[in-house]
Chains A and B, each alone.
Chain A
Amino acid sequence: RKEVEQDPGPFNVPEGATVAFNCTYSNSASQSFFWYRQDCRKEPKLLMSVYSSGNEDGRFTAQLNRASQYISLLIRDSKLSDSATYLCAVNQRSQGNLIFGKGTKLSVKP
Chain B
Amino acid sequence: NAGVTQTPKFRVLKTGQSMTLLCAQDMNHEYMYWYRQDPGMGLRLIHYSVGEGTTAKGEVPDGYNVSRLKKQNFLLGLESAAPSQTSVYFCASRPLGGIGETQYFGPGTRLLVL
**A residues neighboring B (CB under 8 Å):** 31-32, 34, 41-46, 49, 87, 89, 91-98, 100-103
Contact = CB atoms under 8 A, between A and B. Distances in A.
A97 B105 contact: no
Given A43-B108, A102-B41, A32 B90 contact: no
Contact of B42 (A43, A45, A103): A103
Interface residues of B, number: 24
27 contacts: A31-B99, A31-B100, A32-B100, A32-B102, A34-B102, A41-B108, A43-B90, A44-B43, A44-B90, A44-B105, A49-B102, A91-B100, A93-B99, A95-B31, A95-B48, A95-B50, A96-B31, A96-B103, A97-B33, A97-B48, A97-B58, A98-B33, A98-B45, A100-B42, A100-B43, A101-B42, A102-B41
B71 interface: no
A22 to B, nearest CB: 16
Contacts of B94: 96
A4 to B, nearest CB: 8
Interface of B: 31, 33, 40-43, 45, 48, 50, 56, 58, 90, 94, 98-108
B105 to A, nearest CB: 4
